[in-house]
Structure 1
Amino acid sequence: MLTIQCTKKLSDELKVNISKVKAINTDPLYSWHAHLFLYNRRKCVLVMNNKTRYNFILFALKKDDFKEFDNLIVKAIAENLSADGVDKVVTEKYLQNCTSVSYTATSDRSIISQINEMIMASEYKMRQDKLDGMETDIYELNRWLNRYIMMKLPKLYSGETMLEELLHLKDS
C-alpha cells in the first residue's frame, strides 16, 4: 500500500478526509509526503519519499487530475524512477506494492521543511530559466531536484539514496 501524507492545502484540493492517526506499520519506502503550491497561477504538487527524500513535481494540474490523483501519483513515481535510470524490473517490483493508495496527515516536520526547500529551489530555477528566455523542462527539473544535496542522507543525494533502497528491495 502506498501512503500519501498530505498537507491540509492538498487534502482540501483532493476533497479527502485525511486520517489524523499515523499510518500503522507503514514502510517508509512506500510513504510519501505531498504539498500543493502555486507557480505562475498553476497548481503544482511536490511529492517526497519519507525514507529517501526522493522527490518530484507534478506541474500544472487541472481539476480532473486531482480526481484521478491515485493513478497520477503511481504513474509519476514510475516515470520519474525510469527517467532516473532505475531498471524496469526494480520499478515493477516497487509498484507491485502500490496497488492501493491511502491518505493521511503529515507526520514529520523535517520532511515538510525539506519540501519547502525543494519548492524554493525549483521556483528559483524556473525564474532563472525564464530570465534566460527559456521555458523550464519539468522533466529536467525533476532530475535536477534529486541531485540537490541533503545532508541527512547517507548518499547526500536523494536520487542515489532511492536507487540504493530499490536495489535492496530487488535483492530481498
Structure 2
Amino acid sequence: MITTIFTSKKLEKITKSLIEDYNEKLPEISKLGKWNATVFYVYRKKCWLVTNSRTRYSVILANVKSSDLSQINRLFKEALHRQMNYDSVSITPEEIDILIGDLRFNPTDNDRRTIGFQNSHLSTLEYRKDQYGMLENWPITQIVHFLNNTYFYWNKPKMTEGTYPVTELRKELETLETDLNTL
C-alpha cells in the first residue's frame, strides 16, 4: 500500500531527496486517498501541515529536521495516531499502518481546494504563534483538534450542509471497516 503526499513548492525545496516522479502509475493507492503537505515556521522551526484531500482531516508534524526525513513514515503515522486518539477516533497503530502503508512524496498536484483549506488553517496557526509563542509551548494535538472540528461547507453534489473534517474521517473509516477487520 502506498500513500501519496503531494508537497507544496516550499516543502518540495526542503525535501528534494524524498520527491519522486509522479508520472509513473502507482501499484496501490491508500484507502484514505491522497494527502497534501505544506511547511510553516514557528520561531525558525519547521512544521508540516498535512491534510487529507478526501476528508480535510489534518495532522501537524512539529519541528521536522533534515535528519528526520529518513524516518518520516514513522513520524507521520505516530502523529496521525496521536491526533486520531485525541479526536476520539478509535484506531490502532496496526490499522493505521494498513491504511497508510508507505509514504510517497510527489511535487504539488495544484489541488486548489485542499491548498485553499490549508491556507485557511495556516492563517489560524499564525494567530496561535502570538498566543503560544515558542513551539515548545504549543499544545499541538489540541490546536489540530480545533482545526479538525472547524465547521466547513464542502461543495459536493449531494452535500447541502456543512460538515467537520473529523466527521468526514469517521465516515471514511466506517466504509473501510471491513478492510480493517481483516487484520
TM range (shorter): 0.7 to 0.9
- Could you tell me which runs of 5 or more consecutive residues in structure 1 were left unpaired when the two chains were aligned: none
Q: Counterpart amino acid of 2:177?
A: K
Deviation at 1:169, TM superposition (A): 0.9
**1:40-83 Cα deviation digits (max 9, x unpaired):** 21111000001000002112222222232122112211221122
Greater shift, 95-104 or 34-43, is seen at 95-104
Give 1:167's aligned residue.
174
1:23 to 1:147, Cα distance in 2 relative to 1, 3 A: farther
Structure 2 residue 50 is matched with structure 1 residue 47: yes
1:69 to 1:94, Cα distance in 2 relative to 1, 3 A: closer
Alignment check: 8 A CA contact 1:21 1:105 kept: no
Give 2:100's aligned residue.
98
Instruction: Compute the RMSD of aligned alpha carbons.
Output: 2.5
Identity of aligned residues (%): 25
Alignment check: 8 A CA contact 1:6 1:18 kept: no
Tell me how many residue pairs correspond in the alignment. Answer: 168
Distance (Å, rounded) in 1 between the aligned partners of 2:126 and 2:71: 25
Structure 1 counterpart of 2:143, from 141, 144, 152: 141
Greater shift, 12-21 or 30-39, is seen at 12-21
Distance (Å, rounded) in 2 between the aligned partners of 1:86 and 1:23: 32
Deviation at 1:141, TM superposition (A): 0.6
Q: Counterpart amino acid of 2:140?
A: I
Task: Give the structure-1-normalised TM-score.
Answer: 0.84
- Could you tell me which runs of 5 or more consecutive residues in structure 2 were left unpaired when the two chains were aligned: none
Distance (Å, rounded) in 1 between the aligned partners of 2:132 and 2:80: 25
Alignment check: 8 A CA contact 1:32 1:48 kept: yes
Alignment check: 8 A CA contact 1:2 1:98 kept: yes
Residues 7-86 of structure 1 correspond to what in structure 2 (within 5 A)?
Answer: 7-14=8-15, 15-21=17-23, 26=29, 29-86=32-89
1:4 to 1:128, Cα distance in 2 relative to 1, 3 A: same
Deviation at 1:152, TM superposition (A): 0.6
**1:106-159 Cα deviation digits (max 9, x unpaired):** 2212111111111111221332345xxxx3311211111101122117551101
1:94 to 1:16, Cα distance in 2 relative to 1, 3 A: closer
Deviation at 1:28, TM superposition (A): 6.9
1:44 to 1:30, Cα distance in 2 relative to 1, 3 A: same
Q: Counterpart amino acid of 1:7?
A: S
Distance (Å, rounded) in 1 between the aligned partners of 2:57 and 2:24: 21
Task: Give the structure-2-normalised TM-score.
Answer: 0.79
Greater shift, 51-60 or 80-89, is seen at 80-89
